[in-house]
Chains A and B, each alone.
Chain A
């Protein structure tokens, strides 16, 4: 056995804190090590060539790479040793960057630690056996969860590439938050004019099946072959029969909150969210319906010309297989009321959120595009915008930037002037963040051309006085207190991941952060992938982002998914469990704990029944390995011997 050890300097990323030469020297003294050297950038082409040359020159049969995280470059170096003619699994990576040089400052300490880690890697690779991946067929089909602009874009891109797509949306229409917007920065094109055609296209595309009022209930399987249960919630309306004529909504006597319009205006117990909804189908909300509350009423059924109302309708669960999943569940705006009592905590009707303001500005909105104060329906003249409500505010535990607030506030200030020419807009801001193409110019236009008054500072208090609101803040540039009398105050509330995104993430086995945003595989190199193979992210579900970025990410995710599906077959990890059938007692404790049903019974000729692992089902968690009383089921690549050797070497 001839082991080679390569200690990467990663420029100065490692070499500044770890003496890589000393580590290589120490490695040379380790048992079975035939060659050790320090390399400047081992992942670069010359670096990889040096490794391949060394393998040939020194007749190496195993390799230890002391470099960055295996999560970063394990695949890279497996390929490298494979090019050198070795089995790719005869490589062990030791993390001396993320887990060493980047988190320590003392060179001596870090170098000692790196040597320890290399010793561990050498011990582990000694016990490594060559492994050979299997292949499984990939299910041709993709699931997109969330039908906002990102989900629609991803679905259309894949469908155009010939991939059958199921688009699951939990509301009764697709469109997401963009459907709520009036005009969009930085070009001021009307949101529904650019979105509606795409919604219709998604509905009509031969490769897209649209499922609204639906949510993912359970996900089984893994990359290439996910099996998903989708629950379609009963809406008491037959989707095939409903024509969206809205007669039911007009006649319905039951009032209900208007979620689509963010409670600007009221809706009915049975309603179509907005006239351009896709599909254009009514939905009955039982919690507001007189029939279900009081047991009497059935007006909608009587007036429906299409005979589409069915009070007995039940939930349906559809189970289907998909090769890839794209999550595009978007965002929710931050519920500011409890966090900002100084802004009235929701008690002043004329303090509204920017999303509510979008609905007021929209010509197809509940006010027909007329800006009206909620308190008395009057047209406001002085409008104050407050940025960063629930953003960049560590005092309430939300230090994140919402990334769109500066831009949409500028947009709303411009639109206000267009709607009410004799109005005056004031914008309290912290910084103006406008780094996109044409963005800075746009925020300047708001000030220079449309006369919005920008005041740099936070607002400390809002209180009512004589039918108006007094907004008290500081102008940090002028260094003075300012007081503005406002008719309407618009809060640019921050963004969080969509409600329930954490729950969905758990079903999908992907990570999320404390704001409910889903975590990408790598912040720079795998921005649309997740840590679970075959699951991708698109749009604002991953982090706050605007429409152009959401669409770009959606296309990227679609390309990734299409790439996976185009392969037809997939290599499975050979790091699966294996039973030593000679010593298996047939207790089947392994089968009891296996989350994947990957253990089956096998009858032997000698009459014994033993356990057998189905490699294509095993995902390599190793839970069985621990449960097995005589320790005869073993996870390849993480065998007891390897782990013990690591521990022993570390404690030498």
Chain B
């Protein structure tokens, strides 16, 4: 791997996205190795401050993934997450963090292939802002 490894944190809800990532593993779907997963009970537990903490500690990117809207294991935790994280996303530029470094999405327990795609795309996206910054 020519590129420098990135530090990407993924906050995944236990019921959908973590299980979806497990599914990708069971199907041996290869993906970039820059992402480290932190298991959460629900995306509703993801405090925007925790995301900022990750950036403060030097994360190149942060990914949050939960159950699809309507499918939350806890009824509507992901709706709270969506509201909070949407606000956070809009605030990032003001804090000097490129918005491309943050992404939240929904991956269900049966979507191993989709999870792999999300990781690939997000890693690539973070890679490209990071190398863009280096070039400056």
Tell me, rounded to whole Å, the shortest Cβ–Cβ distance linking A186 to chain B.
31
CA distance in complex: A117, B21 (Å): 15
Residues A95 and B37 in contact in the complex (CB < 8 Å), given A511-B109, A626-B45 = yes
Q: Is the CB of A531 within 8 A of B25?
A: no
Which residues of chain B are near A532, meaning CB under 8 Å? 73
Question: How far apart are the CA atoms of A70 and B42 in the complex, in Å?
Answer: 15
B96-117 interface code vs A (CB 8 A; 1 in, 0 out): 0000000000001110000010
A contact residues around B7 at 8 Å (CB)? 650-651
Which residues of chain B (1-20) have a CB below 8 Å from chain A?
Answer: 1, 5, 7, 9, 14-16, 18-19
A299 within 8 A of partner (CB):
no
A88-136 residues with Cβ-Cβ distance < 8 A to B are: 95, 97-100, 102-106, 109-110, 112-113, 116-117, 120
B58 on the interface (CB 8 Å rule)? yes
Task: Flag whether A331 is at the interface (Cβ < 8 A).
Answer: no
Q: Is A406 an interface residue (CB 8 A)?
A: no
B57 within 8 A of A: yes
Contact partner of A102 (CB less than 8 A), chosen from B16, B25, B80, B110, is: B25
Choose from A512, A626, A644 the contact partner of B53 (Cβ within 8 Å).
Answer: A644
Docked Cα-Cα span, A622 to B16, in Å, equals 16
Which residues of A have CB within 8 Å of B9? Answer: 647, 650-651
Q: Once bound together, how far apart are the Cα atoms of A595 and B42, in whole Å? A: 13
Q: A511-B110, A531-B109, A595-B75 are in contact. Are A104 and B30 (CB under 8 A)?
A: yes
Stretch in contact with the other chain, from A281-289, A290-298, A635-643:
A635-643
Number of contact residues on B: which range applies? 35 or more
Nearest chain-B residue to A503 (Cβ)?
Answer: B70
| B16, B33, B53, B70 — most chain A CB neighbours (10 Å) | B33
Bound form: Cα–Cα A72–B50 in Å: 27
Does residue A367 face the partner (Cβ distance < 8 Å to B)? no
Report yes or no: A103 in contact with B53, Cβ–Cβ below 8 A. Answer: no
Tell whether A468 is near chain B: CB-to-CB under 8 Å: no
Cβ of B25 and Cβ of A99 under 8 Å apart?
yes
Interface pair B28/A103, CB less than 8 Å apart = yes
- Give Cα distance in the complex from A299 to B51, angstroms: 68
Q: How far is the CA of A98 from the CA of B29 in the complex (A)?
A: 10
**Pairs across A and B, CB under 8 Å, 18 listed:** A97-B25, A98-B25, A103-B31, A104-B30, A109-B5, A110-B33, A116-B36, A120-B38, A509-B75, A519-B110, A531-B109, A595-B76, A621-B44, A621-B74, A623-B77, A623-B80, A626-B80, A650-B9
5 more CB-based (< 8 A) A-B contacts, given A511-B109, A644-B50, A647-B59: A69-B25, A98-B26, A514-B110, A519-B110, A622-B40
